[in-house]
Chain A
């Protein structure tokens, strides 16, 4: 459980400090897996199968999310010729 917490925090912090989009996507993956780990630990702790089922969903969701995210990053790279997230800042209020 502690490991899950540490993993989640690591992912969060790295997402906040990295400007490279690929690394940000990776951090999101790390956070998702941390959440998945927390589910598995909790389910084995209480002896309930729900957590395992939930992890399956998270895996499927993560796969879909990565494909959409990578497609977006590709498009962004085509447009801006960079992977810097701060470069895509034209939509301001």
Chain B
């Protein structure tokens, strides 16, 4: 039954690709959402059986894909606790987003193309997380990249969207190349791409810190960094917001961008063998979460705030992976998928209500006009900024904050960064909330509350992003570890070096206090004294800093200078392609030979006779020479 989960979205995508144009919008919605709903239902059933069965993994061999010498790759699916967590989020959140999209995209002319791409994406993503060998995983990995490209550039008539799509595709390609090299190296050294074979064989093959395994882990990290929009390949995600909002919710918040987290968690044995690479994971996560948090603080586009926030939250997951808190990272992935999808779809509802206005400075005062959207958005924001006790974000993020310090690979510097990130998160989140929903209406629109197909998924996700946190409670509050116990067979538990409850309390209280401080500052900034803040931000240094953060730490400009411009220059210099020269020269030599030969055809009969005679003499002399000499 496992094969049905990815097969259903693929099948639905196939129907929509082939016959989408002749189907009515209602039929397209039923096919797309129905396949997703069925997949989600099957996941629930399988998940229940899985939990009842008590086995560590369910594997299914469908057929052999490639067989060549010692190389053997099959279409093998494997469901264990880690992939079950991902499959559940992908199908369940994916289903809700599909339902929401039927409302969001209702007016769009390319309705069926949209759902074809969405279903294809979900299918590829499910292949990614269910794959039992790295080649199939890579297939899913590239499949989601392709769908991401197609959906970012969905409104292809605007060249800017096409540019954003190409940028996303090319930047992630950098990481994908690193990952492909990692796969080659893994095959070269272990002779297999089966994940389980590699994971069980690696500790015997390599000692801890072996150069090869460190290199492989770094290359895998490169792939993860590209897909998950972490430093230094994070620049594509803010631009990816050019796509429709459900796409941002599904691909660029809930699922695809966390593929990097999945990859690292999946190959955690390799990272455990390569402490340098694992430290690099933590450092990448820590720096990214800070940088993206600062950038989110000054954005004006509501979706870009959420995009930077996504980068920052995935930074938390990387930090957790880097300190060996594997299950904490996956836990944060699950809660993040809920509340970030909720926020994106809430933002989408606002955007639709404002007639596709995305600038927060043209919104304001929507609390009274869109009360339902306001409340779900507030719940999502509370979860994102980790308001204590009542939100899922609190439980998942605080776990990471605490483990960043107390884990064996942890460090107090990580903890400081994580807590500063929590402060930034609260600040930018509530700046967004206050700008959008409070104050006086600044736009000239008349917002209308979205329909049920958009609101019901929001209610469900709002409930999830509150309740999902209670499956894992910290030591200080009951020490309830359902989620990490569930992941125990796949991911080892974190090694704690500090188990002081007092310190943990301090950490949690400090994080909570900073969260509230951040909200207060956002309130002062946006509502209480906007004039004072305006004056503050008019200071030259602040203005400079604002512009700097606004462009995402000017990474785009730097990459343009470093890579794009030199490349364009080289391309321009090489306009008459050097390689082409060889071929044109060859053609020219041929042309010359032809001219020479053509000139011998003079039309004078006697010349031809002469030619025949000379030829005959030559052939005869050669023959005679061969025979007699």
Measured as residues with beta carbon below 8 angstroms from the partner, the interface class of chain B is 10 to 19
Asked if B582 is an interface residue, CB under 8 A from chain A, the answer is: no
User: From DSSP, what is the main secondary structure of chain B's interface residues?
Assistant: helix
A83 to chain B, nearest CB (A): 12
State whether B609 touches A93 (Cβ < 8 A): no
Partner of B603, one of A16, A19, A24, A88: A88
State whether B604 touches A86 (Cβ < 8 A): yes
State whether B605 touches A92 (Cβ < 8 A): no
Asked if B597 is an interface residue, CB under 8 A from chain A, the answer is: yes
Asked if B22 is an interface residue, CB under 8 A from chain A, the answer is: no
State whether A89 touches B606 (Cβ < 8 A): no
Asked if B599 is an interface residue, CB under 8 A from chain A, the answer is: yes
Chain A contacts for B600, CB-based, 8 A: 93
With CB as the reference atom, state the residue of chain A lying closest to B603.
A89
State whether B603 touches A91 (Cβ < 8 A): yes
State whether B609 touches A92 (Cβ < 8 A): no
State whether A16 touches B601 (Cβ < 8 A): no
Asked if A90 is an interface residue, CB under 8 A from chain B, the answer is: yes
State whether B603 touches A90 (Cβ < 8 A): yes
Asked if A75 is an interface residue, CB under 8 A from chain B, the answer is: no
With CB as the reference atom, state the residue of chain B lying closest to A28.
B609
Chain B contacts for A15, CB-based, 8 A: 606, 609
Asked if B62 is an interface residue, CB under 8 A from chain A, the answer is: no
Chain A contacts for B599, CB-based, 8 A: 93
Chain A contacts for B606, CB-based, 8 A: 15-16, 19, 85-86
Chain A contacts for B585, CB-based, 8 A: none
B400-435 interface bits toward A, Cβ cutoff 8 Å, 1 = contact, 0 = none: 000000000000000000000000000000000000
State whether B602 touches A92 (Cβ < 8 A): yes
State whether B601 touches A85 (Cβ < 8 A): no
Chain B contacts for A92, CB-based, 8 A: 601-603
Asked if B613 is an interface residue, CB under 8 A from chain A, the answer is: yes
| Interchain CA distance A52-B202 in the complex, whole Å | 91
Chain B contacts for A19, CB-based, 8 A: 606
State whether A85 touches B605 (Cβ < 8 A): yes
Interface residues of A (CB under 8 A from B): 12, 15-16, 19, 24, 85-86, 88-93
Can you pick out 23 interface pairs between chain A and chain B where the beta carbons lie within 8 Å of each other?
A12-B613, A15-B609, A16-B610, A16-B613, A24-B605, A85-B604, A85-B605, A85-B606, A86-B604, A86-B606, A88-B605, A89-B603, A89-B604, A90-B603, A91-B601, A92-B601, A92-B602, A92-B603, A93-B597, A93-B598, A93-B600, A93-B601, A93-B602
Interface residues of B (CB under 8 A from A): 597-606, 609-610, 613
